[in-house]
């Protein structure tokens, strides 16, 4: 990384992970950032949708401080955070468990009226193999559709429900023993099927298998064939990347234009991550 001053644009080392989405940023210590470097990271993130960092020895205060450079950390509604940092939750799968946290393609908590802008995940303990996370570019998914289908979708809205994930048994907000007091509540929202990113101005598909139940004004059965087509189109290999974690790895992804899917292929081992969610706006 080049020397940084407040008067010069920072030049980070950026290594694309795949052709459509994802980049690894190297040569930066997230515990010691100046404003110019933080701004450059944010610009790279908006371009690549998800960015990754390696070998970040961050304590909770440093992790939270970096999150505040990107957005506004908020409490996750279903899992109690740490007493010292309520906005940080632990996402863990233990050796005796067979279901992982969020093990399905999704964008985080779309069933909220104001879904999170972004999510950050920091690896604290990883299995000896497996446990990768995949990401999908929802700009590319939308742009790959025919002009006629894009025109149809531009006028549709989708019903999203937290109850759907109960059926999948891989509920992204699955409650463990440390669930929050309101963990039995169900949430439902109606958002555009195609949302316009408030910062880039680009259009992205905004439906996902974990939470999108139907199109507004249509039945679930009527909606299912087209939704299935959109879900399959979204995760074509050319629209995705796959990240292999190590202790100290961190990911920052944009929920407004990307889906993710943690792969559940490490039974018998522990995978322990710390997560921060950043406040978003009302999709439009």
List active site positions.
106, 108, 260, 275
Nearest CA to 105 among 214, 262, 216? 262
DSSP-assigned states of every residue in 238-283: GGEEEE---TT-EEEEETTTEEEEE----TTS-EEEEEEEE-----
Q: Is residue 151 classed as helix, strand or coil in its secondary structure?
A: helix
C-alpha span between 120 and 26 (Å, rounded): 17
Contacts 24+ apart (CB under 8 A), 194-199: 194/142, 194/150, 194/153, 194/154, 194/156, 195/256, 195/283, 195/284, 196/284, 197/139, 197/256, 197/257, 198/256, 198/281, 198/284, 199/46
Q: Read off the tokens for 77.
A: 């509604």
CA pair distance 157, 186, nearest whole angstrom:
20
């Amino acid at each position: 990384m080049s020397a940084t001053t407040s008067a010069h644009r920072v030049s980070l080392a950026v290594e694309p992970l795949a052709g459509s989405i994802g980049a690894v940023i190297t040569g930066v210590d997230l515990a010691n950032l100046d404003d110019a470097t933080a701004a450059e990271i944010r610009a790279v993130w908006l371009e690549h949708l998800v960015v990754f960092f390696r070998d970040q020895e961050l304590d909770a205060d440093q992790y939270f401080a970096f999150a505040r450079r990107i957005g506004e950390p908020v409490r996750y509604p279903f899992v109690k955070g740490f007493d010292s940092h309520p906005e940080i939750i632990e996402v863990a799968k233990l050796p005796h468990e067979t279901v992982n946290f969020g093990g399905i393609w999704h964008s985080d908590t779309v069933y909220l009226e104001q879904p999170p802008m972004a999510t950050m995940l920091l690896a604290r303990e990883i299995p000896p193999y497996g446990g990768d996370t995949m990401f999908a570019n929802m700009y590319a998914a939308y742009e790959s559709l025919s002009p006629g289908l894009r025109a149809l979708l531009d006028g549709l809205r989708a019903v999203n429900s937290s109850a759907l994930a109960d059926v999948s048994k891989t509920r992204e907000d699955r409650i463990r023993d440390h669930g929050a007091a309101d963990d039995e509540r169900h949430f439902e929202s109606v958002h555009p099927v195609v949302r316009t990113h408030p910062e880039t101005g680009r259009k992205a598909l905004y439906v996902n298998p974990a939470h999108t139940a139907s199109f507004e004004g249509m039945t679930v059965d009527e909606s299912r064939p087209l939704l299935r087509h959109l879900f399959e189109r979204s995760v074509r290999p050319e629209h995705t990347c796959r990240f292999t974690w190590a202790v100290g790895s961190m990911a920052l992804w944009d929920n407004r234009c990307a889906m993710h899917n943690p792969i559940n292929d490490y039974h018998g081992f522990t995978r322990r991550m710390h997560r921060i969610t950043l406040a978003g706006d009302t999709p439009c």
